[in-house]
Amino acid sequence: MPAAPDLVEAAFRALAGARDAKAFHPRGRWFEGELTTTFDPALPLPVGEVEVCGRLSKGVGTPGGLPDVLGLAFRLPGPWDVLLSTSRSRVLPWPARTWTTGRYGSITPFRWRDRLVWLAAVPDACRTRSAALADLPAEPAFTLEVGPPWRPVGRLVTRPLDVDRDLPALDPVLNRPAGLELAPAVLARLRESAYRGSRRGRSPDPVTAPDAWSGVGPGSRKL
């Protein structure tokens, strides 16, 4: 009988192949911006201001403005790809009605220096009509928090990135700082299998290596 990770990889590969896109968060809007953070030993976030490039997306890909588990992903220097999704009670993915009414969280914790830490982003209050990509605010901004206990550690300000093609996939499994683990271990293995299946199911395979972002992202303003 196939092991659970193999079944997860096969399922995500099939779904990505059927969509010819990522199994989850298949469509979104790219952005560039700045992340400004203060030092906090909970996570190895860069201190000061850094340029980021990322994506806001609908997790399942519900049509139009229907609620969805919304995603906020961005690349930090390193590279470190951060993926947050609207959630409740820290660990439960939860559909949001608009882009600014949900709390975006890491869902599962990071393990850093033998401690479990969650990361979250709280959007600025802004009147938005629905979860449609067309209803995204012009320049969404977020306050980054770590916990528990929850405390602010940074500020993310974004601007739409005018691109007419899909950029290389952000991958929090492949791209993270040395020593930073995804926890718990059993879910981390399943998550790795899911991402591997999603990468392999798309055509052509996305380039997720750091040099694929040459000219786009932290440290560059060019496309």
For the segment 13-67, what is each residue's pLDDT rounded down to a tens digit? 664 565 555 545 578 899 999 999 999 999 999 999 999 999 999 988 899 999 9
Query: Is residue 119 a contact partner of residue 145, using CB atoms and an 8 Å limit?
Result: yes
The pLDDT tens digits for 133-169 are 999 999 999 999 999 999 999 999 999 987 755 566 7
52 vs 186, residue with greater confidence: 52
What spatial distance separates the first Cα and last Cα of the chain, rounded to whole Å? 47
Please count the other Cβ atoms lying within 10 Å of the Cβ belonging to residue 38.
13
Give one DSSP letter per residue of 85-143, joined into a string: EEEETTTEE--BSSTTSSEEE-SSPEEETTEEEEEEEEEPP-----S-GGGS-SS-EEE
pTM assigned to the model: 0.80
Exposure of 30 in the CB half-sphere (CA atoms within 13 A): 17
Question: What is the predicted pLDDT for the residue at 100?
Answer: 96
20 vs 103, residue with greater confidence: 103
Statement: residue 209 has pLDDT above 90? no
Note if the bond before 67 is cis, omega within 30 degrees. no
Nearest to 110 by CA among 171, 43, 170: 43
Instruction: Give the helix ranges, DSSP H, for the chain.
Output: 4-19, 185-201
Question: What is the predicted pLDDT for the residue at 223?
Answer: 31
Question: What is the predicted pLDDT for the residue at 187?
Answer: 64
Q: Look at the block and give the residue holding tokens 């929090």.
A: 172
Distances in Å between the alpha carbon of 130 and those of 63, 100, 140, 167?
11, 9, 14, 25
Tell me the C-alpha distance between 22 and 5, whole Å: 18
Angle of helix 185-201 relative to helix 4-19, nearest 10 degrees, comes to: 30
